[in-house]
A = this chain, B = another copy of it.
Amino acid sequence: MNTRLPAGDRRSMVEIGRRARAAAGRLAKADGDTKNQGLHGIADSLVEARPRILEANAQDLERAEQAGLSAALVDRLTLNRARLEAIASDVRGLSELTDPVGETYEAATLPNGLQLHKQRVPLGVLAVIYESRPNVTVDVAGLAIKTGNAAILRGGSEAVHSNGALVEAVHAGLAQVGLPFDALQFIDDPDRARLTELLHLHEYVDLVIPRGRNALHEFCRQHSTIPVVTGGIGICHLFVDESADLQAALRVICNAKTQRPTVCNALDTVLVHRAVAGSLLPALVDQLAPEGVTFRADPTAVSFLEQTAAGGGALPQAVRAAGPEDFDTEWLSLVLGLKVVESLEEAMAHIAEHGTHHSDGILTGEAAHARQFVAEVDSAVVYVNASTRFTDGGQFGLGAEVAVSTQRLHARGPMGLRELTTYKWVVTGSYHTRE
């Protein structure tokens, strides 16, 4: 039944789409136990195939160093025993989660006696376009199989050997439970024209999920005839209200900025109410500058910081005046924007103008202010008195995360297993006819 993908096979995109659709039909019928056994099979094969995977990864790393990739990129590309075990363990973890497929909800009996309900079913075929992290390959494979979806993966060329070895291990795991290899097809061709072809397979692919930089999301949105989940870009704000507990606010700001500055839910801009700017801003700089944070301050924040500077009138070294683009930049590093506002309304207006509808919060002691902020700020996740770093499927208790959506359709914010499903309506009658 399962025929192994020959090495160097270069199928047509339509053929890949057709195979994915056929595999999706089989996966949709697989019961939860089979899918969970498949996940354990994949984890086992990953552990078993470790020597081959690490060897393939070494080839990619060698090429990356020759090509002069940055240390950060090389790190993202690197697999080792511990990372591989973590990847395998995450796949096993998926088997513990509740399978959303088959859940029924919104059941109703209509006045004419017709019974109807919605029943959760897999989305069908996912296309995931990503860059150098090879862990995404297994991550997506696991999420897709758990939810009964087939996946077409298009990874970065930097990780081509690693991905090849990982996909082979996934296929070996699928084979153990008789699930089709075509549940996971991998495209290692870096050709953009071929990517565009993939993005036009709306007959066979139900959802495109780009994972990577803004340019990749934009490319997919421009060229895809398939719905695309865009997201991952977070210019995140915290507004410190005049009623906030300032000591606690400092802790939250520090966490949101420094706990992991390279990710999309890290803090980019602090908005401070004028009434507390004089005490908060100097303390903020004092506390965060030693952590390596540098600041881009608006004119009012600059003058507050100058007034309170130890030297009298000089800005602290870590602070400079914000440039015109600074409040529209997702820093992904230890830079933090600072701006003083006159009111909650001004803070919300700033977020509306400069935010990306990702994660924004208020730090406040006033329930009415919290309510107004929650009602009016239009972000995927709106926080009251918490760090923006919580925007994450795992942190939200979803068990897993396939992406963080900042668009409005289908799913918003962290997408877990349920967001990889759709539903069918089931209507049952006794030979009912419409009048």
Where the two chains meet, the residues of A that have a C-beta atom closer than 8 Å to any C-beta of B are 25, 28-29, 108, 110, 114, 116, 119, 121, 123-124, 202, 206-207, 221-222, 225, 227-228, 245, 248-249, 251-252, 254-256, 259, 352, 361, 363, 370, 374-376, 378-387, 389-391, 395-397, 407-410, 412-414, 422-434
Contact = CB atoms under 8 A, between A and B. Distances in A.
A110 B397 contact: yes
Contacts of A396: 110, 116, 425
Contact of A379 (B245, B380, B424): B424
Count chain B CB atoms within 10 A of each CB in A391, A396, A408 and give the residue with the most: A408
13 contacts: A28-B378, A110-B395, A114-B386, A123-B409, A227-B227, A227-B409, A245-B431, A259-B434, A381-B427, A386-B429, A408-B422, A410-B410, A412-B424
Contacts of A252: 431-433
Contacts of A123: 408-409
Contacts of A380: 424-425
B385 A428 contact: yes
A336 to B, nearest CB: 16
B408 A124 contact: yes
Given A206-B408, A227-B228, A381-B426, 10 more contacts: A206-B409, A227-B407, A245-B431, A385-B431, A386-B428, A386-B433, A387-B432, A390-B432, A391-B425, A409-B409
A187 B123 CA distance: 35
A431 B386 contact: yes
A429 B376 contact: no
A62 B7 CA distance: 67
Contact of A382 (B221, B222, B248, B425): B425
A363 B382 CA distance: 49
A222 B221 CA distance: 12
B251 A433 contact: yes
A282 B366 CA distance: 76
A431 B428 CA distance: 50
A397 B425 CA distance: 13
A161 to B, nearest CB: 34
A416 to B, nearest CB: 11
Nearest to A227: B409
Given A409-B422, A423-B412, A434-B395, A429 B385 contact: yes
A79 to B, nearest CB: 25
B424 A378 contact: yes
A116 B395 CA distance: 11
Contacts of A207: 408-409
Contact of A432 (B202, B385, B426): B385
